[in-house]
Amino acid sequence: MRNKTCVAIDGPAGAGKSTVAKLVARQLGLLYIDTGAMYRAVTLKALREGLDLTDHEQLTALARRTKIELVPGAKQLVLLDGEDVTEEIRSPEVSRHVSLVAKVPGVRAILVEQQRRMASETGVVMDGRDIGTVVLPQADIKIFLTASAEERANRRAKELANKGYTIDIAKLIKEIEERDYIDSHREVSPLVAAADATIIDSSNLSIDEVVEEIVKLIGNP
Ligand code: CDP
């Protein structure tokens, strides 16, 4: 029988969701789906086309005519209309604007439908902001992964430095806090822990410790 276990991991920027989600998926033979990458891909296209990011109609139309593919593999690839944008969607420029695009109800409706379709075919570990609350409320296990803003900014700074970006840590903390604020206060699908989610604060935990805790919970939901 195919493993149809469905794991939802939500939480704020830099809590370690994607690293942990990938490892849990690999360990359990599930498909990893990075929903943030989908919002980032739409944002990249909107920036390239010079759209007004407060124009909800234009952004919704753009999402409708955009094809996003997540290609599984040792390094998951993100294709935007067939072009590999895996690296480009992680740029600080996209990070600074993505929450404006993600708060548009029409954009969310289009991407959520695609996410549900992907999860209907196989067992998944899906990470994002609204997976346990909106996208997959029937998930077998829901995790809300968080950490202090300083710790999250430090992790993100290391990640960006490894990619050759110059980091101003005070500015990064401010940007992460701004993004969390928009994500938590938007009208549609705000970032919030589902009532039945297990909350894990990863500030003082290693990646392996978080993975182990989640795998244990899946064994004993
Ligand atoms: O990796 P990081 O935590 O920085 O963010 P991400 O998971 O790549 O998501 C980028 C942004 O997309 C978030 O700040 C949200 O604004 C939006 N997002 C969302 O609204 N809903 C999701 N399910 C996933 C991401």
pLDDT score for 27: 94
Given a contact cutoff of 8 angstroms between Cβ atoms, the answer to whether 2 and 9 are in contact is no
Per-residue model confidence (pLDDT) at position 18: 93
User: Does ligand 1 lie within 6 Å of residue 13's CB atom?
Assistant: yes
Query: Which atom of ligand 1 lies at the shortest distance from residue 37's CA?
Result: 8
Helix (H, G, I), strand (E, B) or coil at 216: helix
pLDDT 10s digits, 113-141? 999 999 998 999 999 999 999 999 999 99
Protein residue closest via CA to atom 8 of ligand 1:
36
Please give the pLDDT value at position 2: 54
99 within ligand 1 shell (Cβ under 6 A) = yes
Question: Rounded CA gap, 115 and 103, in Å?
Answer: 17
Count the helix, strand and coil residues of the chain and give each as a percent rounded to the nearest 5: 50, 15, 35
pLDDT at 1 exceeding the cut of 60: no
| Ligand 1 atom 20, closest CA | 102
Residue bearing tokens 């999860």: 119
- Examine the pLDDT at 176 and tell me if it is beyond 70: yes
Average pLDDT over residues 169-175: 91
Mutate which of 32, 98, 107 to test ligand 1's pocket (most atoms within 8 Å of Cβ)? 98
| Short-list 219, 217, 220, CA closest to 9 | 217
Task: Give the number of the atom of ligand 1 that is nearest the alpha carbon of residue 103.
Answer: 20
- 166 or 86, which is more confident? 86
> Chain-wide mean pLDDT for the chain?
94
Nearest CA to ligand 1 atom 13: 99
Query: Is the confidence at residue 71, as pLDDT, over 80?
Result: yes
Beta bridge partners of 80: 68, 83
Q: What is the pLDDT of residue 221?
A: 64
36 in contact with ligand 1, CB cutoff 6 A = yes
Over residues 99-121, the mean pLDDT reads 97
Report how far apart the first and last C-alpha atoms of the chain are (Å, whole number): 20
d(CA 1, ligand 1 centre) in Å: 33
| Contact assessment for residue 111 and residue 20, using Cβ atoms and an 8 Å cutoff | no
DSSP 71-125: E-SSS-EEEETTEE-TTGGGSHHHHHHHHHHHT-HHHHHHHHHHHHHHHHHS-EE
Query: How remote is the CA of residue 204 from the centroid of ligand 1, in Å?
Result: 23
Taking 80 as the threshold, does the pLDDT of residue 220 lie above it?
no
130 lines ligand 1 (CB under 6 A): yes
Average pLDDT over residues 191-197: 96
Regarding the beta carbon of 40 and ligand 1, being less than 6 Å apart is answered: yes
- Report pTM: 0.93
Given this model, what pLDDT does residue 14 score? Answer: 87
Q: Helix or strand or coil: residue 4?
A: coil
